[in-house]
Homo-oligomer: A and B are copies of this chain.
Amino acid sequence: MRYELYYWPGIPGRGEFVRLALEDADADYIDIAYDTENGLDRVNRGLDFDHNSAAPFAPPYLRAGDIEVSHVANILQFLGPRLRLAPTDEAPQLWWHGLQLTLTDFVAEIHDTHHPLGPGLYYEDQKREATRRSAVFLEQRLPKFLNYFEQVLAHNPTGDEWLVGDACTTADLSLFHVVRGLRYAFPAAMTQHKHAMARIAALTERVAARPGIARYLDSARRIAFNEDGIFRHYPELDVAR
């Protein structure tokens, strides 16, 4: 099965959560925007109801034969069992998908630090609001989310290596990317939280050392964080308390 990932070029963005799963599993996939001619047009065409009776609201979306799946959490729920990056029983699967959706919310709040007035305006047009929102985020929300995932690891009955059960899932790969992104965007604030997230930090290193991930991080396919993506480093927003 060759998977097709449809996502914007030039940023890691939300597509990166899907890429990490495919790369970890060494799956056969193409990244439409980069690997095909007129790739960007193809990404856009998939969003057009003139060409599709069921078009996603936004990228990323994934095609696998006749199946199309949109939204990161939905795609990872679909891919997880196929790539052996998911628990196998119903109760842990529901827990796993719930964690992925908490990560979705976390990512949305991280994005909103630089876009508190929404995606419709440039950062430059909402800088003052972004300064206020970031301060509240770094003071209240960032520690709340980090503490949550630290606790999930601490209370995992099978050990604190992975979020769900005793094996790596897509949720671990996603948490790894969120932590990497936060360290890029908010280096000062993240340094302050270092001691409160020892388990998360260890998980992050564990993920980075996985063969598929290590190979991917060293490759040209890994797009660097930049100021067009979700995780942006604006020094004026990285307020240490």
Contacts from A to B (Cβ < 8 Å): 49, 52-57, 66-71, 73-74, 77-78, 90-91, 94-95, 97-98, 101-102, 105, 108-109, 112, 116-121, 126, 129, 132-133, 136-137, 139-141, 145, 148, 151-152, 154-157
Q: Known: A67-B91, A74-B94. Is A136-B155 also a contact (CB below 8 A)?
A: no
Q: A101: which B residues are within 8 A, CB to CB? A: 70-71, 73-74
Query: Quick check: B94 and A155 within 8 Å, CB to CB?
Result: no
Query: Quick check: A57 and B137 within 8 Å, CB to CB?
Result: no
Query: Quick check: B102 and A117 within 8 Å, CB to CB?
Result: no
* A53 (CB) vs chain B CBs: closest residue: B155
Secondary structure of the A side of the interface? helix
Nearest 5 pairs between A and B by C-beta?
A71-B101, A120-B140, A70-B98, A57-B102, A53-B155
* A95 (CB) vs chain B CBs: closest residue: B54
Query: Quick check: A117 and B141 within 8 Å, CB to CB?
Result: no
Q: Known: A90-B67, A116-B116, A117-B116. Is A54-B136 also a contact (CB below 8 A)?
A: no
Q: A105: which B residues are within 8 A, CB to CB? A: 57, 108
| A224 to B24 alpha-carbon distance, docked (Å) | 48
Q: How many whole Å from A114's CB to the nearest CB in chain B?
A: 13
Q: A68: which B residues are within 8 A, CB to CB? A: 91, 94-95
Q: Known: A69-B94, A73-B101. Is A137-B155 also a contact (CB below 8 A)?
A: no
